[in-house]
Amino acid sequence: MGFYIIVYDIGDQGKRQRVVEILEKWGLRRIQRSAFVGYVQEGRAKDIAREIEMTIDLEKDVVHIVQIERKEWNRAIVVGTSKWSAGSPEGSVVLR
For a copy of itself, the closer of residues 27 and 33 by Cβ is 33
Find all residues with CB under 8 Å of 39, minimum gap 6, and list them: 1, 2, 3, 4, 27, 70
Q: Is 12 annotated as a binding residue?
A: no
Q: Is residue 9 a contact point for a copy of itself (CB under 8 A)?
A: yes
x/- letters, 18..57, toward a copy of itself (CB under 8 A): -------------xxxxx---------xx--xx-xx--xx
Q: How far is the CB of 70 from a copy of itself (least distance, A)?
A: 11
Size of the site for a copy of itself (CB under 8 A): 43
| CB-count burial class (<10 Å; 0-12, 13-18, 19+) for 70 | middle
